[in-house]
Amino acid sequence: MKAEYETRVSDYYYRNDCDQKIRLGCGPHLHYHVELLYMERGSVTAYVDSEAYEVCGGDFLAVFPNKIHRFENTSDTQRYHLFIISPDMAESLASKFRNYTPYCPLIKKACENKRLLSLIYCLSRFDNVHGTYREIILGGYLTAFFGEILSMLSLDGAKAEDNHAMKTVVDYCSRNFTKDLSLSVLEEELHMSKFYISHIFSDKLGIRFNDYINSLRVSEACRHLRTGDLSITQISVMSGFGTLRTFNRAFIKQTGVSPSDYRKNNRADTHAVSIPS
């Protein structure tokens, strides 16, 4: 199945359909972020790695990083809460999302977990929280949120050894993008032909290898620009870019603004999210 790799500038995105105006529905895609859906009312068919799951009222779906997924609307009446979150926002649990995968991503009758529901509703109102400690408070909520979700899933520790070539390549890149990466490096590290790896990106993900790596690096840079005081040159190096010129060019291509303008408009005491396509 061909899927689009979705680059995301924001570490945290939330959307609901309490007004029942925006139905769930999207084509096959994947990303580094965790995608979490709580269905209050109605239903939707979710496909995760080609497996179909009927998500009904009271159910919860957890799509781990780099899993191909899509939603197919099957209900005229829907109320839901949708979160798309970088696992790095809950640092103590991030490795669970990177190195494991659930045997089944669907949690039936998740509504019976009152702590989980409380956290969902707290996070749904987080746009109203501002100030110096906003990111710290959000990180605390997300650690508790992720902890509740992980406690309700059975995890498989074989994700990194998955024989599916695409997942292996994407997983390796998502863990090593700040290093000097090239098709030749992946060929040596993963024992795959660099031409085959290039084909995976162009044919399966719909993105060139270099653009994919740059998207990961720009997302990392955005996090530093929002939350720290490092210089733009320092952030460029930490994010894996060889030169400041390359960093600026890639950043503007992905976000439409310069790194300095992005920092000015997206400090930790503000909240800006990208809308998924």
Query: What CATH code is carried by the domain that includes residue 16?
Result: 2.60.120.280
Residues 6 or more apart in contact with residue 114 via CB below 8 angstroms:
none
Q: What is residue 275's predicted lDDT score, i.e. its pLDDT?
A: 31
Q: Residue 92 belongs to what domain range?
A: 4-156
Q: What is residue 40's predicted lDDT score, i.e. its pLDDT?
A: 92
Query: What is the rounded CA–CA span in Å between residue 259 and residue 57?
Result: 42
pLDDT in tens, 130-141: 778 888 889 999
| Residue 43 is assigned to a structural domain of this protein | yes
276: pLDDT confidence band, cut at 50, 70 and 90? very low
Domain count, the chain: 1
| Residue 60 is assigned to a structural domain of this protein | yes
- 239 within 8 A of 106, measured Cβ to Cβ: no
Alpha helices in 63-126 (DSSP H): 94-99, 114-124
| Residue 92 is assigned to a structural domain of this protein | yes
Q: Is the pLDDT of residue 37 over 90?
A: yes
Which has more pLDDT, 257 or 267?
257
| Residue 192 is assigned to a structural domain of this protein | no
| Residue 242 is assigned to a structural domain of this protein | no
Which has more pLDDT, 23 or 27?
27
9: pLDDT confidence band, cut at 50, 70 and 90? confident
Which 3 state secondary structure label does DSSP give 106?
A: strand
How high does pLDDT run on average in the chain? 85
